[in-house]
Structure 1
Amino acid sequence: MAAPEWSETAMLVIDMQKDFISAERGSPLLVAGGQAIVPTVIQAVAAARERGILVIWVVREHDRFGRDVEHFRRHFYSDGEGPTVKGCIGAELADGLAIADGDYKLVKTRFSAFFATNLHHLLQGCGIKNLVVVGVQTPNCIRQTVFDAVALDYHSVTLISDATAAATPQIHSENIRDMKNIGVAAPTLQEWCSFDASSSSVSYSMLSQYHNFVCGSPSSSWLRTASKLARMVPVLFLFLLYKNKTSTGDWLCF
């Protein structure tokens, strides 16, 4: 049974399937950085289970003819053997990963785990307020799911930075930066494991605020205020010129 403080947290493991992870499959949707994070994802899932956190395996499973896939990807299914077809090897979890008793499997057909699925209702029914996200890939399914979670007002959304991956480290880091800018925390697995639930939301919030302050996030309140003040300077200058002209008949000179 989960400790009371962790019972309101769920971990989403996104798209850790052979067609996205295993190079030997030759899938057109292979994520170059995916295989490298498998050991970290295994550790993250183990840590979540140890804490009694609900683990939700979010996977893609498509019709063999691609009738339920995004329009721009349907050409991959012209021969009836496209990526992550339901019941085929490519849709299986990557080697070393397995759904355990008590875990939950959620099938999606689009980038976000929330789009046209029962995920939000499931989480609400389980009393989940906080989400931890791992898997692939950062600019697509991870990002879309995280943004939707923030829009749905989950209290805290955490991305484990070394248990997620993209095609390149640069793409990965740039998307993490964007997610930090909307209040998402991105600790490493080691950092996440060092937090206890009672302090995690505060700690994650502080980390995000610190990042925003140092890096100049457009979402940080201090930067918005400074930006507004900067925009006011030219207006104030023109007002002073006008006021001097109307009161003395001469333009103010400097």
Structure 2
Amino acid sequence: MSQEQTYANAGFGRAVPRGTRPGIIVVDFSYGFTDPRYPTASDARAQMANTRRLCDALRAKGFPVVFSTIAFHPGEVDKLPWLKKSAGMAALIQGSRLVEIDAATGIQPGDAIVVKKGASSFFGSTLGALLTGAGVDTLIVAGATTSGCVRATVVDAVQSGFNVLVPRDCCADRAQAPHDANLYDMQQKYADVTDSEDILAWIGALAART
């Protein structure tokens, strides 16, 4: 029996219903994750360009665009267990360039930014309240890294009651193997893994939010 048949027999991989009120969370496309001068970064230029197109299309129709960034207070660095495991992240200090959203994303002054201390963009942040207040029923998740903060955000999004879409060409990781494996697993269990062209076509068919 093939891997695909094994998952299908178990009832995984069903299509995610799409609503009429999308929003996007762009996970951690901050300089600390996108500028190769920093050891925590990966090359995300193509993924940011694709994400920018999605954000522009959503804004044009009045749908919410939200960014997340990881930013620690210096006093937190020696107290958080995550930073003992992932010590390189300790450089993401609030007020530094590393935690600023990369301008290549096309971020606009009206876009919300949530600051987080963990992997998921929902954990300990206002993201859930922002999306609920904006009436979002289908959440697009893009950003970095696919196997880390994107995946954690996708899982929490489903658990928070959102239908989830993940455009694979808008997600970046430091290595191909974890990128591919996590996209596959998210497709089977939590989200529809698609691409930016598919999502742009769907957004284009939606009525503008009034």
What is the CA deviation profile of residues 172-214 of structure 1, one whole-angstrom value per residue up to 9, with x for unaligned ones?
Answer: 1211111111241121111111225778xxxxxxxxxxxxxxx
CA distance in 1, matches of 2:35, 2:29: 10
CA change 1:195–1:169 in 2 (3 A) is same
CA distance in 2, matches of 1:61, 1:134: 19
Instruction: Name which one, 1 or 2, has greater alpha-carbon Rg.
Output: 1
Q: Which amino acid aligns with 1:64?
A: P
Does residue 15 of structure 1 match 2:22?
A: no
Q: Which amino acid aligns with 2:146?
A: T
The match for 1:195 is 202
Q: Which amino acid aligns with 2:108?
A: A
The match for 1:240 is none
Q: CA deviation at 1:72?
A: 4.0
Secondary structure at the residue paired with 2:189? Answer: coil
Does residue 46 of structure 1 match 2:53?
A: no
CA distance in 2, matches of 1:140, 1:186: 16
What is the CA deviation profile of residues 2-46 of structure 1, one whole-angstrom value per residue up to 9, with x for unaligned ones?
Answer: xxx75x22100110011111012x33x22x343442222222221
1:134 aligned to which of 142, 166, 173: 142
1:67 aligned to which of 61, 77, 89: 77
Q: Any conservation in 2 of the 1:66–1:82 contact (CA below 8 Å)?
A: no
CA change 1:118–1:93 in 2 (3 A) is closer
The match for 2:171 is 164
Tell me, which stretches of 5 or more residues in structure 1 are unaligned? 200-254
Tell me the number of residue pairs that the alignment of Structure 1 and Structure 2 aligns.
187
Q: CA deviation at 1:137?
A: 0.5
CA change 1:161–1:101 in 2 (3 A) is same
The TM-score, its normalising length taken from structure 2, stands at 0.79
CA distance in 2, matches of 1:97, 1:122: 20
Q: Which amino acid aligns with 1:51?
A: K
Q: CA deviation at 1:93?
A: 1.6
CA change 1:47–1:196 in 2 (3 A) is closer
Q: Any conservation in 2 of the 1:21–1:94 contact (CA below 8 Å)?
A: yes
Q: Which amino acid aligns with 1:73?
A: L
Q: CA deviation at 1:140?
A: 0.9
Q: Which moved more, 1:99-108 or 1:67-76?
A: 67-76
Does residue 101 of structure 1 match 2:114?
A: no
Q: Which amino acid aligns with 1:17?
A: S
CA change 1:197–1:157 in 2 (3 A) is farther
Q: CA deviation at 1:65?
A: 4.2
Q: CA deviation at 1:71?
A: 1.6
Q: Which amino acid aligns with 1:99?
A: I
CA distance in 1, matches of 2:194, 2:79: 32
Which structure is higher in RCO with an 8 Å CA cutoff and minimum separation 6?
2
Secondary structure at the residue paired with 1:11? Answer: strand
Q: CA deviation at 1:59?
A: 0.9
- Structure 1 residue ranges (4+ consecutive) displaced by more than 4 angstroms after TM superposition: 74-77, 196-199
CA distance in 2, matches of 1:83, 1:21: 14
